[in-house]
């Protein structure tokens, strides 16, 4: 295994850190103030457009696309350290046009989109002019099993007609969100994994309603997580992404790199929590000495460092495998880091909150919102249990010959 990032990755990382320190972090209070002044929690603060322009000027733009004709064409291993930097800074991913769910949507548009679809939707996304959402999860079925998805995409002349009820459509409340990648059933009689398709739906198409934003731990801001209704929405047949019945396969393709990006960002989040924990431990005095001199605090700091190092190595191994032997061969590792990165991030942030005392759960420090975000990572892109189920299935598969006949 060779986890050494290339010189290009090192150089990009140095410039990304500089951009973050000099420009992006100092803009955080401006960003918050502009949103507060607007009175609308989903208002996109204009300072973000300034940050994006500066990122483009510094050639820190679309760093995520590993292959094809667009983006930086970095390997997963080279992108890992950059994504980790982004994880520790709330505005940096969007400022560099590397934010979910657009990254996953751009990846599948680059991979499966027709030239027309790419011109209409991929190019404006790559240029940071619009944003997008991904509408798969439904309130009335267990959506961690994607074969349950029941929304319909039915052919009618030259069009498809879409009917469905979705939720957790992240980004749908952002006024810049112009297109949805929608998953629904086109072939109800087909094999379970060949029933669904994906289709591109303009958010201003008649019949699309964003019913509400779903608060996460009581908060709803930014692009939000929309509950969305799709009633007799008519789009031309050329909006289908890939082939009819290919939705499940595209969903799998979308989640591979997307998962690794979430994990890398989660490690960045955990690093930031550990930074904060160490600074607070050195400066806060209780019972006659700095908190840093309490054995239990040292143990928690050590535990956090050890966990972060473990999960970073596993993530780098996974990135390296994806680059060298492909996503399929790296399935177990991809599933494992999805679970472990979320676990480590929540563990470390939880310890940091405890060390901060009451301040840890307020909005005076970023820890509470970091925790809320890390906690959702146990659910997004499939809950932990589903990934562990896959890992166990592959492990047990090696011993399948031992099973009694009939089981």
Ligand X SMILES: Cc1cc2nc3c(=O)[nH]c(=O)nc-3n(C[C@H](O)[C@H](O)[C@H](O)COP(=O)(O)OP(=O)(O)OC[C@H]3O[C@@H](n4cnc5c(N)ncnc54)[C@H](O)[C@@H]3O)c2cc1C
Cis peptide before 101 (omega within 30 of 0): yes
Confirm or reject binding of residue 389 to ligand X (CB under 6 A): yes
Site string for ligand X, 363-382 (x = CB under 6 A): -------------x--xxxx
Confirm or reject binding of residue 199 to ligand X (CB under 6 A): no
Confirm or reject binding of residue 196 to ligand X (CB under 6 A): no
Which helix (H) or strand (E) covers residue 271, if one does? helix 247-283
Nearer to ligand X, 9 or 143 (CB): 143
* Shortest separation between residue 331's beta carbon and ligand X, angstroms: 16
**Which of 5, 101, 113, 242 forms a contact with ligand X (CB under 6 A)?**
101
Pick out residues in 200-219 that bind ligand X (CB under 6 A).
216
**Could you tell me which stretch among 18-26, 275-283, 383-391, 399-407 binds ligand X (CB under 6 A)?**
383-391
**Which of 137, 197, 239, 331 forms a contact with ligand X (CB under 6 A)?**
137
Using CB under 6 A, count the residues that bind ligand X. 22
Nearer to ligand X, 144 or 294 (CB): 144
Handedness of CA 154, 155, 156, 159 (dihedral sign): positive
Nearer to ligand X, 154 or 385 (CB): 385
Confirm or reject binding of residue 134 to ligand X (CB under 6 A): yes
- Residue 207, exposed/middle/buried by CB under 10 A (0-12, 13-18, 19+)? middle
Nearer to ligand X, 171 or 360 (CB): 171
Backbone angles phi, psi at 7, to 5 degrees: -60, -35
The residue among 355, 362, 345 whose CA lies nearest residue 276 is 355
Cis peptide before 68 (omega within 30 of 0): no
Nearer to ligand X, 324 or 376 (CB): 376
Distance CA 61, CA 64 (A): 9
Distance CA 13, CA 229 (A): 41
Distance CA 257, CA 64 (A): 9
* Shortest separation between residue 404's beta carbon and ligand X, angstroms: 23
Distance CA 332, CA 388 (A): 9
8 A C-beta contact, residue 201 and residue 235: yes
Nearer to ligand X, 5 or 87 (CB): 87
Cα first-last separation, the chain: 39
Pick out residues in 142-171 that bind ligand X (CB under 6 A).
142-144, 168-170
Nearer to ligand X, 19 or 64 (CB): 64
- The residues binding ligand X (CB under 6 A) are 101, 134-137, 142-144, 168-170, 216, 225, 376, 379-383, 385-386, 389
């Amino acid at each position: 295994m060779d986890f050494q990032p290339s010189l290009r990755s090192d150089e990009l990382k140095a410039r990304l850190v500089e951009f973050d320190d000099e420009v992006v972090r100092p803009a955080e209070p401006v960003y918050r103030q502009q949103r507060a002044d607007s009175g609308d929690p989903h208002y996109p603060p204009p300072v973000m457009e300034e940050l994006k322009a500066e990122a483009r000027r510094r050639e820190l733009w679309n760093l995520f696309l590993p292959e094809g004709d667009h983006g930086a064409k970095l390997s997963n291993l080279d992108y890992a350290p950059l994504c980790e930097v982004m994880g520790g800074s709330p505005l940096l991913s969007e400022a560099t046009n590397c934010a979910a769910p657009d990254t996953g949507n751009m990846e599948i548009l680059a991979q499966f989109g027709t030239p027309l679809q790419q011109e209409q939707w991929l190019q404006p996304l790559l240029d940071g002019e619009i944003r997008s959402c991904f509408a798969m999860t439904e309130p009335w079925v267990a959506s961690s099993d994607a074969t349950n998805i029941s929304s319909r995409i039915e052919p009618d002349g030259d069009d498809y007609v879409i009917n469905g009820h979705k939720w957790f459509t992240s980004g749908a409340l952002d006024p810049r969100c112009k297109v949805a990648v929608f998953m629904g059933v086109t072939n109800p009689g087909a094999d379970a994994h060949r029933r669904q398709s994906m289709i591109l739906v303009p958010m201003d198409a008649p019949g699309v309603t964003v019913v509400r934003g779903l608060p996460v731990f009581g908060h709803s801001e930014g692009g939000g997580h929309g509950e969305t209704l799709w009633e007799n929405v008519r789009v031309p047949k050329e909006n289908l992404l890939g082939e009819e019945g290919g939705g499940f396969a595209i969903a799998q393709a979308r989640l591979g790199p997307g998962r690794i990006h979430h994990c890398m960002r989660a490690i960045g989040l955990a690093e930031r929590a550990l930074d904060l924990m160490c600074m607070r431990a050195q400066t806060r005095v209780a019972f006659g000495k700095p908190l840093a001199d309490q054995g239990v605090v040292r143990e928690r700091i050590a535990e956090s460092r050890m966990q972060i190092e473990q999960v970073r190595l596993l993530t780098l191994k996974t990135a390296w495998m994806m680059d060298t032997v492909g996503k399929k061969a790296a399935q177990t590792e991809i599933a494992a880091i999805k679970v472990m990165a979320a676990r480590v991030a929540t563990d470390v942030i939880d310890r940091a909150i405890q060390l901060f005392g009451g301040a840890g759960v307020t909005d005076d420090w970023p820890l509470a919102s970091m925790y809320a975000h890390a906690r959702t990572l146990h659910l997004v892109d499939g809950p932990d249990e589903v990934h562990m189920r896959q890992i166990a299935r592959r492990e047990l598969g090696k011993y399948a010959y031992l099973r009694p006949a009939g089981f």
